[in-house]
Amino acid sequence: MIPGKVRNYIKNNFKEGRVACLTGAGISAESGIPTFRGKGGLWERYDPQIYANAPGLISILRTHPEELVNFIVDFYSILLKAHPNLAHRALAVLEKENILSSTITQNIDGLHQQAESQNVIELHGNAFRIRCIQCSQLVVLEKDKLREMIESFKINKNSYIKILKVLSRYFPRCAICGSRYRIDIVLFGEILPADELSRAYKHLNNCDVLLLIGSSLIVYPAAGLPLYAKERGAKIIEINNEPSSLSDLCDYIITGRASEVLPEILGVLGYA
């Protein structure tokens, strides 16, 4: 599947700690998580102008609480069923073998960590965490607790007051500063976490190769990261089922499923 020219490049240039990667929704689609904008994605059923920004979510909670519950249930039902695929696991192996310095991801599903990648930079947050809106203290939302929360929402879906009580139970006040927790996801109109973005730039400054995996590269500022790496001399390898908005920028393109291409890269490097 990997063209001979690209195989040779990989074999000769994937050096210790000099490879970084940027992953998008495509890598998790193979784990059963539809891309938000693609066919079957959540934005086909739920208007992102309402459900992907804070004012819209607050409005729908007040006016149609049952519709907000339906969205939350659909959203988490998909994530809770998903498991890392061979692409996630291959990246974890590359990291363990000190080839891959970091995995920069636009995804919020936590699948890279589940596959045992350690150095994961989450540009858009994580759906399995809550964050204090004032001091940014983080708390992990365990899957069992999430399932319990979903059931509580279902039971109380037609009552605005009861849904508020459920929210206050699972998104409590911070013990450090007293402010309220919220889901640790970057919504439309919000800025990316500065510390994560800074870490991403640091790794791109030091990489010789950047893998672009499963991203359409249309959402900024994440889509600007390959340009940043390219300007600093990195070679760009795109792994995708279809061209992205930055395919013309890439030095090498591998067309195919990430779950097939990345294990093949392990084979080229002798780690299969």
DSSP string, 81-120: H----HHHHHHHHHHHTT-EEEEEE---S-HHHHTT-S-E
Residue 250 in contact with residue 212, Cβ under 8 Å?
Answer: yes
The two beta strands, 125-132 and 181-185, are antiparallel
Residue 20 in contact with residue 121, Cβ under 8 Å?
Answer: no
Separation CA 123–CA 107 (nearest Å)? 8
Separation CA 136–CA 103 (nearest Å)? 22
The active-site residue, picked from 88, 112, 124, 203, is 124
Backbone angles phi, psi at 202, to 5 degrees: -60, -45
Q: Which CA distances in Å does 178 have to 25, 106, 133, 135? A: 35, 30, 10, 9
Please enumerate in sequence order all residues whose Cβ is within 8 A of that of 250, keeping only pairs 6 or more positions apart, or say none. 212, 236, 237, 238
74 token code pair: 């659909």
Separation CA 165–CA 171 (nearest Å)? 10
Is 83 a residue of the active site? Answer: no
Return the active site residues: 124
